Structures are given as C-alpha cells and as structure tokens.
Amino acid sequence: MEKQLALSMRGITKRFGSVTANSRIDLDIYRGEILSILGENGCGKTTLMNMIAGIYFPDEGTITIDGKEAVIRSPKDAFEHGIGMIHQHFKLVDLFTAAENIVLGVREEGRYNLKDVNTRVSAIADKYGFHIDPGKKIYDMSVSEKQTVEIIKVLYRGADILILDEPTAVLTPQEIDRLFNVLRVMRADGKSIVIITHKLNEVLEVSDRVAILRRGEHIATVNTKDTSEAELTEMMVGQKVNLNIQRSEPVCPQPRLVVRGLNVYDKEGTHILKDISFTAMGGEILGIAGIAGSGQRELLESITGLQHVQSGEIIFHNPKKNQPVTFFHKSLARVTELAEDHAFHDPEGNPVSFRGMKKTDIIRAVLEGRILFNEDEIMNLRDKDPLEIRQLGIHLSFVPEDRLGMGLVGSMGITDNMMLRSYRKGHYGLLDRKKPKDLAEEIIQNLKIVTPGTSYPVRRLSGGNVQKVLVGREIAYTPKVLMAAYPVRGLDIHSSYTIYNLLNKQKESGVAVLYVGEDLDVLLALCDRIMVINAGEITGIVDARTARKEEIGLMMTRSNRARKEGA
C-alpha cells in the first residue's frame, strides 16, 4: 500500500545556549500511521515535536506539510496546518466542563452554542470510541479522562496530525489498552499519530514505525515489525544493555517500620491518607504502586516527620537486643538519657548506670562495646519532626520526588549539598567542609557522577547526575529505612539501573527499602512485595514475584469496599 506523506522535516536544528537539542534531523510522517519517537530523556524528542506544534522555532531546517514549505511560529499556526499536540502536562481549565475546555479559544462563525458543541463532541467520541461526558467538570475527572478531553480538543480543531507526548506515563495498564485502541481507530481513519515515548513494550505494541533519537540526533527509523526490543535499546542507548535487575531473596526479614491506622488530612481538610496500615521489613524492598497523587508523597512525608498526622502510629523497630550501643547512630546525650531509663546491660548481664561516671569513661565504655541494649529499640515516630527523629539516632533516609526543590539545594555544589545532613557537626558555630568534601569526592567517584567539580551547582547537572548526588548522600547516611519516591523519573537507562542496583544493595545489607514507582514492570522486577494505594487507601499488598501487571492495574483504580470485605 502506497502511503501518503503528511509532513516532512529536513535538517532541523535547535540549540539552547551551548546545548544542541536537535541536530540536522530528517523525519517523515505519513498519513494513516502510528509513528513512535523513541529515545531516552533529554535526547530531544519533545523539543523536536514542539517545533512542529509551534512552541519552538527551529534554528535551521525546513518543515514541509503536504508538499508545501510551512512556517509554524505559534500553536495557532500549527492548528491551521492541522497539527495538534497533547502535552505531558495537561493544559485545561479545572473549573470548566469538558465541552467548555474543548471550544475554548476556537473562533467559529455564529453564536456560541454549548448544546451544539456537546453534540459535536459526542459525535467525535462515538466515531473513535472515546467515553466522555461533555458536561463533566475537569476537576471531577481522572487523569485518563482529562487526557481524553485533550485529545478531543485537538480533534475538534480538525487536526489530522496528532502528537502525544508520553501519553501513557500516568495511565494504568487498562487505560493504556483503551488509549491504544482509540489510536488504532484514528489510524484507520487516515490520521497521522506520533507518540513520544521511552517505553519499548508500548512502541512494539502500537506503532508502525519507530524513529530513534539519541543525544539530539536521529539514529534511524525502522519498521516496528522488523525490529526487536534489544535492537531498539541498543540504538537508543548506543551500546548493548543488560536489562535485568538482580533481585535476591530477602534474608530473614524482620519488621522494621510498622505503620498502624494512619490518617492524614491536608490543610483544606481533605482526607489524604485513610487508615493506612502496613509493615516494612528490613532486608526487603516494599514497592508502593498507585496513580500519581494517590497519597504516596504524604505517606512518605508522614513517616519522615514532614507531614502532620491526624491519628495512627509509626513504629520504628531497631533490632538491638543484646547489641552494643554506638555513637554512630546516637549522640552521647542520647546514650546517657537511655542509661537513665535502664536501657542497657553490660556483658555480664548487670544493669548499667552512668551515675557518677566521668564523660571520658562513658565514652570509652561505649567505644569498647561494653554497653548493650536490654531490648529491641521500639519508638513511635509520630509527631516528631525530622530533627527530633535524627536526634533519637534513627537513620531514616528519604529521596523525595522533588529532587531540587526538597532533597537538594540547586544553587549549591555537591559538597554543600552533602553538608545538608551533617552541617550541624561543625564546631563553634562554624561549618566543617572537609568531611562533606571528602564524601562528595567519594560519591562522584563511586557513582560516576559527571561534574566539573565539587562546587559546581547541582542544578546545572543532568537529571541522572542530580539523582545520583541525592541517592548517594542518603545512602552515605547509613539508613535503617530508605524511602525513595520516583527515584528514576527522568533518568536514562544507565542511571536507572545504577539506582536499582544501589537500592538492591541496601536491601541486601538489611535496610528496609520503600520504593514508590510508576513503571509497573520495574516494580514487579525490583520489589519483593508491592503495596497498591488508591485515593489514600491501601487496596492490596501483593507478592511481586507472583503478581500480574493487570491485577495491580485493577487495584490502582478499583473502589476499596470490595477489599474490606475480603480483608
């Protein structure tokens, strides 16, 4: 079958300052096909498509549409050429209905007639198999519904070239299937569909051709049916990659963090976490799956003491029975305090009291390991702020979702960012930069961080390097519990696997790892157990070795009453 050319790009180049985002790219888009643009984060996929959609203007090169050279200087120009882009972050007015959002900004002859719009929206929906209620407000919609509105918005404007930027990133497996079916119907209707993605399985499932970009360059365009996952990865990364996560069996897992009946409300009084109860074991990775914004962030922030908790308990178990106390986790003041509470015994089994002892004697006794705990340390972390938790000698590490806005200080160098956790250790109110600098150099070397130096602002590092700095620091803190929220978001394949391996190593050394992720394939391959939450409630905890993706997908969206009867 002869395919008709819809759009072609020749020699497209785009630079941002000294960075070349796209370099001399030639690409053709045909009618009635689904084309995937595949590449790692930061390879210039979105930039390239933004130039077709009128967001950026190319520095060099030409775009030809239907055989005529086109100038696309604004999204309006793009629409005139029948090009519509669905961005990763939706651009909808929350207070408007679906139909109102769809007609927003469209100049039409005649009076504004919402009823007429509704019928036309329904007609489009029927034609392609969407489910939509034109009168529903955006704020009542799920992510998937919002995406539907965005797609119809573009179709309503008569687009026949549709560009979707990472459309599946926020969808459940079921929603992805539904989306792909719609895309196939559109293809049959003669539309050109372009999907920007970095997920290989989706590329293979839905697209006709794949264009691979690497570091701003167009590597190749291949027919999907002639290629394989391994070949695509190799082209994408530039070398062969082993895509296996080495998952070991947990070694005698013990309860480390027990959360019971946790309830959290936000400032507006919305119930964010509802009666959350679970146990995280030392020596295992507990995955947390759920649609973005289901309460994952609040859960981790509650544990670290950043979020006010309405009710419930967060119990930390430190398996310290008959183990020596150390200054590594506890300060002298805390050790003395514990001794007052009769928490210790000596190697002969006699109770320890520091009464009347000199400071130097106490320090020596502790250093020689002669002070042993009577019992496991069990502490309730609820209502303690991060500093108090720290002062209790509990090492909770937290890799937050917002790396530069919460985990790190963007304008500071790696040394000063290492210091965030340790700056209080300096003497006489002054900072000690020596140890943080050593740590910075160690992390740069061990994790192969690419940076001009230890004082180079971390904001200017690439996403993968930023994340290595953050994870590196949190691990250097020798955690008992390590919590990571979307630690591989935006990272290339290599960096992602570095992070997975680091988490695995922590698990093997007995740390309880909590991993909040969005890619179900990774969750299933990396974790030991997966806890699924939906709208602030746990809808199931499954064994990651036996669970199926579809099963988890259902739990991510299902209503929770069914579970409660079972549980």
Partner 1 sequence: MAGTHAAGVREPLVHLSRRTGMPFWKSWLIRLAALAAGLLICGAVAFILIEKLRDDPGKLGDFYCAFIKGSFGTSRKVWKMLKNLAILLSISLALTPAFRMRFWNIGAEGQTLVGVLGAIAVDFYLGGKIPEGLLIALMFLAALLCGGVWGLIPAVFKAKWNTNETLFTLMMNYVATFLVSYFLVIWVPSGSSSLAKLKYGKLPTLVNDYFLIVMIALLLTIGLYIYLNYSKHGYEISVVGESVNTAKYVGINVRRVILRTMILSGVLCGLTGFLIASGLDRTITTESVGGQGFTAIMVSWLANFNPLMMILTSGLIQILNQGAAQISQDFNVSGALPSVIVGIILFFIIGSEFFINYRLHFRHHKTREAIR
Q: Which of these segments, 67-75, 171-179, 206-214, 497-505, binds partner 1 (CB under 8 A)?
A: 67-75
> Judged by CB under 8 A, does residue 407 bind partner 1?
yes
> Judged by CB under 8 A, does residue 435 bind partner 1?
no
Distance CA 230, CA 11 (A): 28
Q: Which of these segments, 60-68, 207-215, 219-227, 548-556, binds partner 1 (CB under 8 A)?
A: 60-68
Say which residues have a Cβ less than 8 Å from residue 184's Cβ, sequence separation at least 6.
34, 206
Alpha helices in 58-199 (DSSP H): 75-80, 98-103, 114-128, 143-156, 173-188
> Judged by CB under 8 A, does residue 423 bind partner 1?
yes
> Judged by CB under 8 A, does residue 67 bind partner 1?
no
For the record, the structure tokens of 245 come out as 């996560």
**CB-nearer residue toward partner 1: 315 or 404:** 404
Q: Which amino acid is at 293?
A: G
Distance CA 166, CA 457 (A): 29
Q: Which of 5, 8, 10, 96 binds partner 1 (CB under 8 A)?
A: 10
> Judged by CB under 8 A, does residue 333 bind partner 1?
no
Say which residues have a Cβ less than 8 Å from residue 343's Cβ, sequence separation at least 6.
373, 374, 375, 377
> Judged by CB under 8 A, does residue 379 bind partner 1?
no
Q: How far is the CB of 12 from partner 1 (least distance, A)?
A: 10
Where does 283-310 show beta strands of DSSP type E? 285-289
> Judged by CB under 8 A, does residue 139 bind partner 1?
no
> Judged by CB under 8 A, does residue 519 bind partner 1?
no
Q: What are phi and psi of 392, to 5 degrees?
A: -75, -5
> Judged by CB under 8 A, does residue 383 bind partner 1?
no
Q: Which of 176, 186, 408, 449 binds partner 1 (CB under 8 A)?
A: 408
**CB-nearer residue toward partner 1: 407 or 553:** 407
The rounded Cα 72 to chain-centroid distance in angstroms is 33
Eight-class DSSP state of 232: H
Q: What are 22's strand-pairing partners?
A: 14
Distance CA 430, CA 552 (A): 51
- Report in angstroms the alpha-carbon separations of 148 from 170, 286, 291: 13, 33, 17
Specify the pairing of strand 217-223 against strand 209-214: antiparallel
Q: Which of these segments, 7-15, 109-117, 154-162, 228-236, binds partner 1 (CB under 8 A)?
A: 7-15
Q: Which of 26, 57, 223, 229 binds partner 1 (CB under 8 A)?
A: 57
**CB-nearer residue toward partner 1: 159 or 179:** 159
Q: Which of these segments, 153-161, 199-207, 278-286, 399-407, binds partner 1 (CB under 8 A)?
A: 399-407
Residue numbers at the binding site for partner 1 (CB under 8 A): 10-11, 15-18, 57, 59-62, 68-71, 73, 77, 80-81, 304, 306, 385-388, 390, 398, 400, 402, 404-412, 416, 419-421, 423-424, 426, 429-431, 460
